[in-house]
Amino acid sequence: MSIYNHLDASVEAPSGTPEKVSRRGLDLLHHFEGFREEAYLCPAGVWTIGYGNTKWPDGRPVRKGDRVTREEGEELFRTILRTFERGVLDAVEVELTQGQFDALVSFSYNVGLGALRSSTLLRLLNSGDYEGAADQFLRWNKAGGRVLNGLTRRREAERKLFKE
What positions carry a catalytic annotation? 33
Query: Which one, of 3, 1, 64, lies nearest residue 36 by Cα?
Result: 64
The half-sphere exposure of 123 on its side-chain side, counting CA atoms within 13 A, is 5
Long-range (24+ apart) CB contacts under 8 A made by 70-77 are: 70/35, 70/37, 73/35, 73/37, 73/49, 74/50, 75/2, 75/4, 76/49, 76/50, 76/51, 77/29, 77/33, 77/50, 77/51, 77/52, 77/53
Q: CA separation (Å) from 133 to 3, 119, 140?
A: 37, 10, 12
Instruction: Give the distance, in angstroms, between the CA of residue 121 and the centroid of all CA atoms in the same chain.
Output: 14
